[in-house]
Structure 1
């Protein structure tokens, strides 16, 4: 939402400057088109993309692999061998905290994977299960 507001403010300022300094008319047309595209993109993100992302996540954990599937139109499958897992962590930002959800992060040597929007008990159980299978040691701070 903050990004959307900033984008509209920038386009609005450019339109104001364009009218004040009497820039070419094609610049005004381009700015109106950019503003419309910003609005359409944010409507898509808010109403459709988040629904496709949340409703189309699946995962499975066993002693050998972590299997992740995401996407509806373009499905992405990932298999992470337990022997490659270096860390597993749970994150919770302010919006997720409001709804009691967590994001589970799984780190390997070359990349990081995540499972978003897990309920607290499931996220903590899954974190412990993956750590047990991968034999990840907890570091005392």
Structure 2
């Protein structure tokens, strides 16, 4: 079996994914509070309170602590002359090879949280799908976008 891709995404991705997890947990907590009030108003089973407050607690444990760490440890990528290899997954690790001749265009995206941490996502479009390399340092993402674009052009000329 081939070696895993050489490069890992920025360590700041952990912080960004944890912020996303906290936002998700806060939303679940607010929904839980509304449901707890409804449970009290309509005299539903008191066991429902465990569900309304248990879900945000589980969300905090998994989406703030456990899942970002697992995602970050497994995310790898490597850009070669003929292909781009991407490895990702939480429990099932998926490795994808993207031939350079299939690359149509490369985009960089950056939302407000990524921008705060000076990170950007790269989207690599082929005819069939869009592949993403998340949470790269913005300067590195820019250089990588240029490199992929250049290699894709060269691969297209060789065909």
Name structure 2 gaps, 5 residues minimum.
1-21, 155-159
Larger relative strand fraction: 1
For 1:75, which of 93, 112, 131 is the aligned residue?
93
| Distance in 2 of aligned mates of 1:41 and 1:124 | 34
Name structure 1 gaps, 5 residues minimum.
137-141
Give the deviation of 1:126 after TM superposition: 0.9
- Structure 1 position 10 matched with structure 2 position 28: no
- Structure 1 position 89 matched with structure 2 position 107: yes
Q: How does 1:23-102 map to 2 (within 5 A)?
A: 23=44, 25=45, 28-71=46-89, 73-102=91-120
Q: Which has the higher contact order (CA 8 A, sep 6+)?
A: 2
Q: TM-score, normalised by structure 2?
A: 0.74
1:122–1:6 CA distance, 2 compared to 1 (3 A): closer
- Structure 1 position 114 matched with structure 2 position 135: no
Moved over 3 A (4+): none
CA RMSD of aligned residues (A): 2.0
| Distance in 1 of aligned mates of 2:36 and 2:65 | 28
Q: TM-score, normalised by structure 1?
A: 0.82
**Count of residues paired in the alignment:** 133
